[in-house]
Structure 1
Amino acid sequence: MGPAQGTALYVSALLGAGVLVLPGQIASLAGPASLLSWAFAAAMGVPLAVVFAALARRQPDAGGVATYVGLAFGRTAGGVTGWWYFVAGSVGQAVVPLTGGYYVAHALGGGPVAAYAVAAAILATATVANLAGVRVSGPVQLGLAGLVAVALIAVVAAAVPQASVDRLTPFAPHGVAPIGAGVVVLFYAFAGWEAVAHLVGEFRDPDRDVPRATAITILVVTALYLGVAAAVVLTGTYGGASVDHVALGLVLQGVLGGAAAPVAAAVAVVISLGTTNAFVAGVSRLGLSLARGGWLPSPVATIRGGVPVGGVLAVAGTAAATLVVSAGAGWGTETLVVVPATLVVAVYLLAAASGLRLLRGWGRFCAALTVLLTAAVVPSAAGHVAVPLVVSALALLSRRALSAPAAAPRPCRPG
């Protein structure tokens, strides 16, 4: 493929359901200064995408980040990194359906129970589709990305008559620290830079076309995300969970009136279902790879009819358990998203560090730049350092338990 198709596929990997709730949540966290959080998170994609493309060309492998880290720092580091990404992707499939659930509940006038019920239905639908071997085709995936883009453009357009620059002051009402905290959360929205690693081999001329596709993708994604973030800030559509969860729908309401809620709900369900289906498919294959490497129980490696049934059930089970726990605890996406976001920060930091050891030339320079930029965000994630530590401990305990030799059978004594 050429740079145009590559750009379309790359954009489709980056535009997901996170944009439905994060503009409001980040604005509530940092105020108008949240625009700096979005800009910084988008800028990090430039060197990060180059690093992943270079690593993929050097070592194409389905294990992705876990493989690169394993080559650079050993199998244990690679296995733990695989666990980080597997947990991030699995817990994320509780967050994504819940974003759609919020919009449907708002349209129906329901509360949290309705939101969680819709989220469970979205997760169940994606799980059944994956178990049945249903795959979202390239054109359909691109169509979903196009739908997201159109929806975001509509939000920006709807915000124009309601926007006021007066809402930019005070710019940082909560200080500077929330800006960094916002960047950490946005690692979840921008997760997908590693997708270029799976696309490199499909380009006719990777040396020429990958940089072009990456540059165009950065421009498109940055324009859309910053546009929506600005729309939420300049219209003042944030300030509490009930508003943040459906901020884009409320912005549209200024133009569409009463029709905004059902329209936004329908779009949110389609986006959430498409994103969940794609991630369950992708993360299930990582689970398969981890199980074959002895990092997850062997049933996770079960394949039937070419479908990684064990991986799908592991991802869906983790996501479902997360939904149950969060519903019981009264958590929303603003609480849940901390887990995958913090783990993605750790994954990207180690991936960039791997690039320092494995790459040369321009790729190594971008790896060094990524390490510096990601390290600048790490202090903002320090309050959640327990997340990667706990997952690391679980990974090592699982590896030890699965590699322990089975006890020899005790001989039977007569009588």
Structure 2
Amino acid sequence: MTTETSSRVQPHIGLGQGVALYTCAILGAGVLVLPGQVATLAGPASLIAWLISALLGIPLAFTFARLASRFPDAGGVASYAERAFGPVAGATAGWWYFIAVAVGQTIVPLTAGYYLAAALSLPPFAAPVFGLVILALAVAAALADVAIGARVQMGLAIGVAMILVTVVIVSLGQFDPAAFAPFAPAGIAGVGQAVVVLFFAFAGWEAIAHLSAEFRDVRTTLPRATLLTVLIVTVLYLSVATAVVGTGTYGGAAVDRISLGLIVETGWGIAAAAVVAVAAVVICTGTTLAFAQSVSRLGFSLAQRGWAPRSLAVLDRRGVPAVSLLTVTGIGAAGLIGCAVFGWGAEDLVFIPAVLVLATYLIGTAAAMRTFTGRARLVAVLAFSLLLIAVPFAGWHLLVPVGLFAVVAVGLRVRGLRGRRLPTRRLQMRRARRLGSQGDPQAE
């Protein structure tokens, strides 16, 4: 989206719609599998990790909203990083997010596979097989350019919220106060690792920023929408996390992967757990499709800027970036095959996208610190400082964003592109006409 385009957009988003859009961006399929995993990492103290992650969204959301309103561009964080630090930083930020979502294309379908395999009493091997089927359906729909409209996305978010509310209600009869002791068996390290993992659940604070120009009275409406969304998301996530801890439904991979389904099964029986499994499949399929469509266009944008192979900029006859789409989903499929062959689980993979999202947020807030002054800069400094606290707990997983940075930097230098934008079809035609009017020197 260019500045000229955004200036023609008529502001139409009010407070209610803004909260709905923001909530849709945050609530995702990750919450179906992460409550048990982070409880295993940190024990009952994982509730602190959920609270920290939710509150961190306040300065992050305001920082990205300010960036988007000042520099409206579909490239998002990659564009902000390029503007502040140059093309290598922009390309790195783009690739960090591209790989994060690509690995998410393994985790999200796999999550649905866990619930479906458990409902059908099938062995763990069946989960990645179901995941591959879900991913294939999403790819087919994306290649056919099946649109995921705002109402469908909102419906998926409402579906997640309904599952969370159901789990909380059912868990009330299973609560055991003794389950909260010892409170922090893994100490601060466990809480820190849980915060890092939860970046996968809370990714999305930057998504609504691209719509900032469409808010009515943006200076009043956007802050209120942000605060209300933080409140809603915090209550939902903390409630379901408390349900998992209070019922003791965690402690191992087999339980963590389907902890919400097990709570419902214990309270209402197997049939209810099957309903949760069906809902999980629908939600994860929709999320997988939305991810495939959005990140394939990011790959297209990276290729147009000269930050990725030109093949990713190839469009099919429907205008779908098919090569980029197949690249993203191919990475997801490779992960699912690895899960089937090597026994990997979501708990083994989730640190990769979580750390990459953390790195993306760091470079985005750093760009804001360099760009803004006054109060906006102070908010960006706060967000950046809070993000830095989580960095040491990522451990060796930090090698992932560092390694990607090295690959991108070397790749751009070897190819000699240095972020040069590829010429568009219109620019190519102008150049051709110019050469035609001046005569071809080689022909002479």
Instruction: State the TM-score, normalized to the length of structure 2.
Output: 0.89
Q: Is the 8 A contact 1:25 1:245 kept in 2?
A: yes
Aligned position for 1:361: 374
CA–CA distance in 2 between the matches of 1:174 and 1:402?
47
Post-superposition offset of 1:400: 3.7
CA–CA distance in 1 between the matches of 2:218 and 2:48?
32
Please say if 1:204 is aligned against 2:242.
no
Q: Is the 8 A contact 1:49 1:214 kept in 2?
A: yes
247, 268, 287: which one aligns with 1:256? 268
Post-superposition offset of 1:326: 3.2
Instruction: List aligned pairs for 1:272-291, cutoff 5 A.
Output: 272-291=284-303
CA–CA distance in 2 between the matches of 1:217 and 1:254?
31
Q: Is the 8 A contact 2:156 2:286 kept in 1?
A: yes
Post-superposition offset of 1:325: 2.5
Q: Is the 8 A contact 1:188 1:341 kept in 2?
A: yes
Q: Secondary structure at the match of 2:187?
A: coil
137, 143, 146: which one aligns with 1:131? 143
- Runs of 4+ residues over 3 Å off in structure 1: 400-405
23, 38, 46: which one aligns with 1:26? 38
Q: Is the 8 A contact 1:103 1:268 kept in 2?
A: yes
CA–CA distance in 1 between the matches of 2:352 and 2:344?
12
Aligned position for 2:354: 341
- Identity of paired residues, percent? 52
Aligned position for 1:87: 99
Please say if 1:381 is aligned against 2:388.
no
Post-superposition offset of 1:307: 1.6
Task: Report which of the two structures shows the higher radius of gyration computed on alpha carbons.
Answer: 2
Post-superposition offset of 1:404: 7.4
Post-superposition offset of 1:4: 0.4
CA–CA distance in 1 between the matches of 2:319 and 2:220?
35
Q: Secondary structure at the match of 1:153?
A: helix
**In 2 relative to 1, CA 117–388 (structure 1 residues): closer, same or farther, beyond 3 Å?**
same
CA–CA distance in 2 between the matches of 1:334 and 1:166?
26
CA–CA distance in 2 between the matches of 1:381 and 1:29?
13
79, 87, 103: which one aligns with 1:67? 79
Post-superposition offset of 1:260: 2.6
Tell me which moved more, 229-238 or 273-282.
273-282
Q: Is the 8 A contact 1:54 1:359 kept in 2?
A: no
Aligned position for 2:383: 370
167, 171, 180: which one aligns with 1:159? 171
Q: Is the 8 A contact 2:128 2:339 kept in 1?
A: no
Q: Residues 345-379 of structure 1, C-alpha deviation per residue, up to 9 Å, x if partnerless?
A: 11111111111011233321110001110001111
Please say if 1:76 is aligned against 2:88.
yes
Aligned position for 2:283: 271
Q: Is the 8 A contact 1:6 1:199 kept in 2?
A: no
CA–CA distance in 2 between the matches of 1:156 and 1:262?
17
Instruction: List aligned pairs for 1:313-352, cutoff 5 A.
Output: 313-352=326-365
Post-superposition offset of 1:401: 4.4
- In structure 1, the gaps of 5 or more residues are 406-415
Q: Is the 8 A contact 1:168 1:233 kept in 2?
A: yes
Q: Secondary structure at the match of 1:239?
A: coil
Q: Is the 8 A contact 2:110 2:128 kept in 1?
A: yes
Post-superposition offset of 1:382: 2.7
Q: Residues 317-367 of structure 1, C-alpha deviation per residue, up to 9 Å, x if partnerless?
A: 111122223332211000110110011111111111111011233321110
Post-superposition offset of 1:73: 0.8
CA–CA distance in 1 between the matches of 2:288 and 2:237?
20
Q: Is the 8 A contact 1:294 1:403 kept in 2?
A: no
Post-superposition offset of 1:184: 0.2
AA at the equivalent of 2:182: P
Please say if 1:46 is aligned against 2:22.
no
Post-superposition offset of 1:12: 0.7
Post-superposition offset of 1:147: 1.0
AA at the equivalent of 2:88: T
CA–CA distance in 1 between the matches of 2:256 and 2:272?
16
Post-superposition offset of 1:253: 1.4
AA at the equivalent of 2:33: V
CA–CA distance in 1 between the matches of 2:113 and 2:347?
14
Post-superposition offset of 1:402: 3.7
CA–CA distance in 2 between the matches of 1:164 and 1:194?
38
Post-superposition offset of 1:308: 1.8
- In structure 2, the gaps of 5 or more residues are 1-12, 419-444
Number of residue pairs the alignment of both structures matches: 405
Tell me which moved more, 345-354 or 258-267.
258-267
Q: Is the 8 A contact 1:126 1:277 kept in 2?
A: yes
AA at the equivalent of 1:6: G
Aligned position for 2:314: 302
Instruction: State the TM-score, normalized to the length of structure 1.
Output: 0.95
Post-superposition offset of 1:110: 1.2
CA–CA distance in 2 between the matches of 1:262 and 1:161?
20
AA at the equivalent of 2:183: F
Aligned position for 1:184: 196
Post-superposition offset of 1:112: 2.4
CA–CA distance in 2 between the matches of 1:173 and 1:381?
19
Q: Is the 8 A contact 1:237 1:243 kept in 2?
A: yes
CA–CA distance in 1 between the matches of 2:274 and 2:357?
33
Q: Is the 8 A contact 2:36 2:251 kept in 1?
A: yes
CA–CA distance in 1 between the matches of 2:35 and 2:163?
14
Q: Secondary structure at the match of 2:75?
A: coil
